[in-house]
């Protein structure tokens, strides 16, 4: 026990045994388990794609391909090939955002919550005003330089005698002489934004104009006006629920990102020669 050589040999044996154990551990292959649910999932995807059940050979090919993919992915991660890859980074970000979306969509809002959201965001769900009107149309190609004067003369006649037959004035057109109750947005799309705006401010039941549009000049008389309003929840429940879920998803995403952000210290370097520092 006192012999130095014995001490040296004992220490050498311990080192050799330890190296053997560690080496055996390093040489031990990683484990890849292809579970029964995974095989069932692959078979289901195959069936939906090819409209038939996979044969034993098909299933073997699916499993072999899955194992090959798993091995190559693990090797790529070990080599750090996922780093600084724009496509991989975007995909990972999307998957993190999908987690937030799934959590938000799992929430079921109460009627009280939807009512409160509707009131707080009334402008989003408000229905626009609707208008019905009559018109007398003047074609600029037919009238030329006298179009404004002609329109003014007809307007005077219509204002002087409300019983005057308006159909005897104006020019032929495919535009309807009487437009039924329509939204301001649809009028805007047909006649233009300025036309819709002037129509919305026109007095009810009185001829006015001329009003310019992309078609020419018009004398108009608003026959009916329905002002915009905030609908009841039952009228727009689906839309309110959808927007509530979107808002919740954004709220959850912001909260979780704020918590993650606390774990990092961000340093921003100024670009070389930059005049403005971030």
144 and 90 co-located in one domain = no
What pLDDT, on a 0 to 100 scale, did the predictor assign at position 115? Answer: 87
Q: What average pLDDT does the chain have? A: 82
CATH code (residue 200): 3.10.50.40
96 and 176 co-located in one domain = no
Q: Does 9 map to a domain?
A: no
Pairing state between β 207-212 and 178-183: unpaired
End-to-end Cα separation, the chain, in angstroms: 71
27 and 56 co-located in one domain = yes
pLDDT at 51 over 90: yes
What Å distances lie between residue 128 and 159, 193, 225, 231, 243, CA to CA? 30, 14, 11, 11, 19
pLDDT in tens, 181-195: 888 888 888 888 888
Q: Is the peptide bond before 210 cis (omega within 30 degrees of 0)?
A: yes
Q: Per the structure, how many domains does the chain have? A: 3
Residue at a domain's end among 180, 203, 226: 226
What pLDDT, on a 0 to 100 scale, did the predictor assign at position 45? Answer: 93
109 and 246 co-located in one domain = yes
**Most confident range, picked from 2-11, 158-167, 212-221:** 212-221
pLDDT at 146 over 60: yes
* C-alpha gyration radius of the chain: 38
Residue 246: give the domain boundaries.
85-126+231-259
CA dist 118 and 40 (Å) reads 45
Confidence of residue 50 (pLDDT cuts 50, 70, 90): very high
73 and 196 co-located in one domain = no
Question: What ranges make up the beta strands (E) of 111-198?
Answer: 130-138, 178-183
pTM above 0.85, yes or no: no
Query: Which of 111-115, 198-202, 240-244, 273-277 is predicted least confidently?
Result: 273-277
CA dist 153 and 116 (Å) reads 54
What pLDDT, on a 0 to 100 scale, did the predictor assign at position 93? Answer: 85
Task: State whether residue 172 is helix, strand or coil.
Answer: coil
Q: Does 201 map to a domain?
A: yes
Q: Does 272 map to a domain?
A: no
Confidence of residue 278 (pLDDT cuts 50, 70, 90): very low
Q: For residues 31-43, give the mean pLDDT.
A: 89
59 and 196 co-located in one domain = no
Which residue stretches of the chain are H helix? 4-27, 36-50, 56-78, 86-105, 111-120, 122-125, 140-143, 147-160, 184-191, 193-201, 237-261
Task: Tell me the two tokens of residue 43.
Answer: 């078979």
Q: Phi and psi for 53 in degrees, rounded to 5?
A: -75, 145
């Amino acid at each position: 026990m006192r012999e130095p050589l014995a001490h040296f040999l004992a220490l050498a044996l311990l080192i050799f045994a330890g190296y053997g154990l560690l080496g055996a551990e390093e040489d031990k292959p990683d484990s890849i388990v292809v579970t029964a649910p995974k095989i069932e999932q692959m078979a289901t995807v195959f069936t939906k794609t090819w409209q038939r059940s996979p044969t034993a050979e098909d299933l073997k090919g699916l499993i072999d391909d899955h194992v090959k993919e798993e091995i190559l992915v693990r090797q790529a991660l070990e080599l750090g090939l996922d780093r600084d890859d724009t496509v991989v980074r975007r995909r990972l970000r999307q998957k993190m955002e999908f987690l937030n979306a799934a959590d938000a969509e799992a929430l079921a809002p109460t009627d009280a919550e939807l009512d409160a959201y509707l009131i707080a965001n009334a402008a989003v769900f408000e229905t626009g005003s609707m208008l019905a009107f009559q018109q007398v149309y003047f074609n600029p190609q037919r009238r030329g330089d006298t179009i404004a004067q002609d329109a003014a003369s007809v307007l005077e006649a219509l204002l002087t005698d409300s019983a005057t037959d308006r159909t005897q004035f104006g020019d032929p057109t495919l535009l309807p002489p009487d437009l039924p109750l329509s939204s301001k947005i649809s009028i805007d799309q047909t006649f233009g934004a300025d036309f819709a705006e002037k129509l919305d401010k026109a007095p009810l039941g009185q001829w006015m104009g001329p009003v310019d549009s992309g078609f020419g000049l018009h004398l108009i008389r608003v026959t009916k006006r329905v002002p915009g309003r905030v609908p009841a929840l039952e009228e727009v429940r689906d839309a309110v629920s959808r927007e509530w879920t979107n808002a919740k998803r954004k709220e959850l995403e912001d909260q979780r990102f704020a918590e993650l952000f606390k774990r990092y210290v961000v340093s921003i370097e100024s670009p070389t020669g930059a005049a403005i520092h971030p």
